[in-house]
Amino acid sequence: MRACHFAPLMLVLGISLTGCGGEEEPRASDSPPPTAAEIAYYDCLKKEGVAIVHTDYGAPRVDKSKTWNEKAHKACEPLVPPVPSPQPVSAGRLAAARKESTCLRAEGVSWYPDPDPVTGEVDPRAVPAERWAALKREHVDALRKCRPAEKR
């Protein structure tokens, strides 16, 4: 098995992986590495037959393109990791998030919500999933104008 398949595990252990089949080096992320609790939970799901994918930064996630496996999720429910406390956002990032929301609404995305005043994040549950899916399809110009390049 190639070393690339172990990259997420290596990232968790803090070991730098170099020369993985000519791929680009991983980019820096604001996201912390997965916790031991997250790894245990996703390992359980995988053992129960749930398809697991890894983000660019090694965090395991359920493959949402596959069918939901209720039995597996129930079996692994005791291992669900605790939700971390929200981290306060800097005044500058909060101002930028508010400016983005205001700009998108001015550009015709009237339903776009304001960011959370503590985290600076927009709650994806505040709007139906169909609208989020349509955002990148129907409002490309507004996104280009209002959203910082690193968020696109």
Q: If you write DSSP's letter for every residue of 5-41 in order, what string do you get?
A: GGHHHHHHHTPPP--STTPPPPPP-SSPPPPHHHHHH
Residue 68's pLDDT is: 86
Residue 123's pLDDT is: 86
pLDDT digits (tens, 9 = 90+) for 59-109: 899 998 888 889 999 999 999 988 777 788 899 999 999 999 999 999 999
pLDDT at 111 over 90: yes
* Residue at 106: amino acid letter: A
Is residue 151 very low, low, confident or very high in pLDDT (cuts 50, 70, 90)? low
Residue 35: which of 82, 76, 89, 73 has the closest Cα?
Answer: 82
pLDDT at 2 over 50: no
Residue 49: which of 14, 75, 87, 12 has the closest Cα?
Answer: 75
pLDDT digits (tens, 9 = 90+) for 7-66: 443 333 343 334 444 444 444 555 678 888 999 999 999 999 999 998 887 889 999 888
Integer Cα distance of 104 and 147 in angstroms = 8
Residue 44's pLDDT is: 95
Contacts for 117 with CB less than 8 Å, ≥ 6 apart: 94
Integer Cα distance of 133 and 137 in angstroms = 7
Instruction: List strand residue ranges (DSSP E) for 1-139, in order.
Output: 52-54, 60-62
Round the average pLDDT of the chain to a whole number and report it. Answer: 79
> What is the pTM assigned to this prediction?
0.46
Residues of the chain with pLDDT > 70, as a percent, come to 77
